[in-house]
Amino acid sequence: MRKSRGKTEGSIAYLMDASLKKVGSKMQAWHGGELNGVSARNVMEESSEEFFNLLEKDFDANKHADCKLTKQDISEMLNNYKLMYTELGSCFSYLRQILPSEEDLVKLKDSIENARKL
């Protein structure tokens, strides 16, 4: 007998998966249910604002009755993740350059330091 798979509707995993699909990304089964490189870059570079706004709306609307997080708590937590993804997106952008300029290397270092602070 085969075990039923899937995510419980309203769970954090379900909400994240739904939000990722809305921005053209998805969790990959062959990556242990995690983001692969393409999907991670998509969230970091192109869709982070939209993705995190969707998550914030969905998390607030679907939180359990006994959840102690306020809408502000959720917003601040997701904003920190959004800032980290933005900084990491910048890092990967600079790292993909074949011959980065000195200015690009300085920006890379700044992005790494900013990500580390988050």
pTM over 0.75: no
CA 108 from centroid of its chain's CA atoms? 20
> Per DSSP, what are the bridge partners of residue 27?
35
For the chain, the domains span 12-117
Q: How far apart are CA 14 and CA 37, in angstroms?
A: 20
pLDDT tens-digit map of 45-90: 656 788 888 888 888 888 888 889 899 999 999 888 888 888 888 8
**pLDDT at res. 105:** 93
Amino acid identity for residue 49 in this structure? E
Q: Which pLDDT band, with edges at 50, 70 and 90, does 104 fall under?
A: very high
Longest dimension (CA), the chain: 60
Q: Which pLDDT band, with edges at 50, 70 and 90, does 31 fall under?
A: low
DSSP class of residue 32 equals T
**pLDDT at res. 76:** 92
Number of neighbours of residue 111 by Cβ within 10 angstroms:
20
